Amino acid sequence: MSLTRRTFMVSGALGGSAALAGCGRNQLATGAELDQKVAASRAQLFDTVPGTRSLAERSAGMLIVPQIIKGGFILSGAYGEGALLVGDAVVDYISMAGAGVGFQIGAQNFSQALFFTTPEALADFRQSDGWEIGVNAEVAVFDGGAGYGASTSTVLRPIYQVLYGQRGLIVGASLEGAKYNRLIR
């Protein structure tokens, strides 16, 4: 079989669709199981990423997604489930799903924390249906106590993102455009 542009694109679409379809299958957990995974992931975050404990103490709330699985070839899919915390209390269970098209190849497993540093940012997140990074809010990437590429616009952003615990490799990885929805557990 010769590899034409059409067969390349069709195989990419099929591979990406398979990755998207299989991303969330093994992650369905009860509320108690999710609580345990979130607590362990939060402890790992505080132990491995300097400055996150103090950022959490200053934040109105934080979202922990202990495991996001992302994979694909041309088309990609990502899925994870986590909990929104205010202080130490779980106030909502949240799913994160994303899909992408473009140069992406591979598979990766990682954790994510979103810090809502203002009550308004937390309220916007909780009140929206299908909240999306880059559409509903710009997010500054937290890097050991300072925003990555910090400028006047990133330092003042009310939401910080930390990706940690990466395993695997994906070329072209990004969570821009990922959607967050409330789960019933």
CA quadruple 66, 61, 93, 134: dihedral sign: negative
Q: 26: which DSSP letter?
A: G
Q: Which residues of the chain have pLDDT under 50?
A: 1-26, 144-155
Please name the residue that has the structure tokens 């994870």.
80
Give φ, ψ of 9 to 5 degrees.
-70, -40
pLDDT for the residue 85: 98
Name the 3-class secondary structure at 145. coil
Read off the amino acid at residue 91. Answer: V
Domain positions in the chain are: 5-183
pLDDT tens readout for residues 53-88? 999 999 999 999 999 998 888 888 899 999 999 999
Please name the residue that has the structure tokens 């997604």.
65
Which distant-in-sequence residues (6+ apart) come within 8 Å of 54 by Cβ? none
pLDDT for the residue 58: 94
pLDDT for the residue 48: 93
Provide the whole-model pTM.
0.75
pLDDT for the residue 102: 72
pLDDT for the residue 40: 97
Give φ, ψ of 151 to 5 degrees.
-140, 180
Cα 156 to Cα 8, 88, 133, 147, distances in angstroms: 44, 25, 16, 10
